[in-house]
Amino acid sequence: MIGSQFKDIISRLSRLPGLGPRSARRLVLFLLKNRQNILLPLIDSLKAIHENIKTCSICHNLDIEDPCFVCVDHKKSETILCIVADVSDIWAIERSQTFKGRYHVLGGLLSVSEGIAPSQLNIESLLNRISHMQNSLQEIIIALNATIEGQTTLHVIVNAIHEKFTDHNFNITTLAQGLPIGGELDYLDDGTLWTAFSRRHNLNAA
C-alpha cells in the first residue's frame, strides 16, 4: 500500500510532460532511495529556479538574469533575429551551435483547439523589437514547427511584419523542410517526401 503523501507526489509528477503514473512511481522510488545525493540537491536546484527565474524583458527567454544570457552576449549578431515558439527551441538551436544571432520567443503557437489567439503571443513586442533593430537587421528567421499550428503562426507573423514594415530592407526566411539527416526515402511520410521534392536543390552550379 502506498502512503498518501507518496500518492500525492506520484500524482503531481505524473502530470509532467513525458511522465505517466508508472514512470512517476519509479522516479519517486529512485529519489527516495537516493535522498542525500540526488533528492536533496534536486530540491535545492528547484527552489533556486523558483526563486530566481526571470522572463527576459527583451526576448522572453527564461534565465536567472534579465536581460538573459543571449541578449547580453556580444558575440551574438544584431543583424539576425530568429523567431521561435518556446524557450526549449532556443535550447535546441543553441545545442546545434549553428546560429549566432538573437532570438524572440513567441510563447506558443496559434491553436484553435487550445484557444490560443494572436493576442496571447509575443507578437506586439516582436514588432516593437524589429522597429528598434531595423537599421542593423538583415534577416529574420522564422523557426517554427512544421505543423499546422506552426505554419499558421508563420503566416500570421509574416503578414504582421509586412503590414508594419512596408518597405523593409531585411529578408524574412524560414527553415528548410525535407529529408532528415540519415533519412531513408522508403521510411518518409508522404508530407515530408512531397516537401523534399518540391524544395529540391539545383546541383548544376556545384
- The residue from 24, 68, 105, 109 that contacts Zn ion (CB under 5 A) is 68
Nearer to Zn ion, 10 or 83 (CB): 83
Rule CB under 5 A: say whether 126 interacts with Zn ion.
Answer: no
Rule CB under 5 A: say whether 24 interacts with Zn ion.
Answer: no
Residue 158 CB, nearest distance to Zn ion (Å)?
23
* C-beta of residue 88 within 8 angstroms of C-beta of residue 143: no
- The residue from 71, 127, 160, 172 that contacts Zn ion (CB under 5 A) is 71
Nearer to Zn ion, 59 or 109 (CB): 59
C-alpha cell at 89: 527551441
CA 109/CA 111 separation, integer angstroms: 6
Q: Return the range that interacts with Zn ion (CB under 5 A); candidates 48-56, 77-85, 148-156, 191-199.
A: 48-56
Rule CB under 5 A: say whether 141 interacts with Zn ion.
Answer: no
Cell 529578408 belongs to: 171
Q: Any long-range contacts for 124-127 (C-beta under 8 Å, 24+ apart)?
A: 125/60, 126/83, 126/157, 126/160, 127/160, 127/161, 127/164
Burial group, residue 18, by CB count within 10 angstroms (0-12, 13-18, 19+): exposed
* C-beta of residue 42 within 8 angstroms of C-beta of residue 27: no
Give the count of residues interacting with Zn ion (CB under 5 A): 7
Rule CB under 5 A: say whether 58 interacts with Zn ion.
Answer: yes
Strand partners, 104: 83
- The residue from 61, 129, 133, 140 that contacts Zn ion (CB under 5 A) is 61
Gap between the terminal Cα atoms of the chain: 68
Interacting positions 80-119 with Zn ion (CB under 5 A): none
Residue 163 CB, nearest distance to Zn ion (Å)?
25
Rule CB under 5 A: say whether 56 interacts with Zn ion.
Answer: yes
Nearer to Zn ion, 56 or 161 (CB): 56
Site for Zn ion, rule CB under 5 A: 56, 58-59, 61, 67-68, 71
